Amino acid sequence: MPAQIPLDLPAIEQSDRDDLVVSASNRVATEAIDAWPHWRHNVLLVVGPEGSGKTHLSRAWAQIADAVHFEAGTGVPPGGNFRIVIDDIDRTDIADAELFAPINAARLGQGWVLATSRLAPQALAGRLPDLVSRLKAAARADLQAPDDRLFEAILAKHFSDHQLLVDPGVLTYLAERIERSGSSARHAVTLLNRRALAEKSRITKPFVRRVLGEESDAFDV
């Protein structure tokens, strides 16, 4: 398969359920979002490190459940049967009391909440005890570090976001040489795309090998 010459097009992030690649690393969390609305608890907490796929999972569930993303000051929708996504509930830019309201309402059966976090509830030191307590009681799905299949798929997705189809051998080569995280994959593809645009070059294995050597600090290799 010939490698494509990049075009200066805006990246279009694909976050639908059909774009979600399932492997051993994220199978439990994926099965959990697919099981909605037959959850054993009305709150699902997805825990994983930065770049592990939490955002893609939350957006996929939002599509499945027709859920809205929680924003500061929005409160709990009236009427019950709400579906809310709270991204990065471990953040501190929204008051704990605001985050507690939809979590507690869902616990009381008024709706459903999918929350994501980089930290497990027991690691949320100094936060509102009632919020931590509700999160500890929620159903939980942990994301593991991406395995080979998932990490190459993550790289392929980021290239696809830039409207690029890259040879599988290039994906394998790159996957073996950068930090295994979603954030590292996004950074690497963005940098490779930028260099390829500047040089009007195809993204091939020799090109990746050269850029990795020249940009070793940026790639953390």
The whole-number pLDDT of residue 147 equals 83
* Alpha carbon distance 97, 99 (integer Å): 5
| Candidate from 2-6, 66-70, 91-95 with smallest mean pLDDT | 2-6
Q: Which CATH superfamily is domain 26-142 in?
A: P-loop containing nucleotide triphosphate hydrolases (3.40.50.300)
Closest CA to 116 of 36, 35, 54, 196: 54
In the numeric block, which tokens belong to residue 154?
């993550």
At 141 the three-state DSSP class reads strand
What Rg, from alpha-carbon coordinates, does the chain have? 20
CATH assignment, 146-219: 1.10.8
pTM for this predicted structure: 0.77
* Domain pair 26-142 / 146-219, same fold: no
The whole-number pLDDT of residue 7 equals 53
Bridge partners, residue 140, by sequence: 45
* Alpha carbon distance 186, 88 (integer Å): 19
Under 8 Å between Cβ of 164 and 5:
no
Q: Where are the domains of the chain?
A: 26-142, 146-219
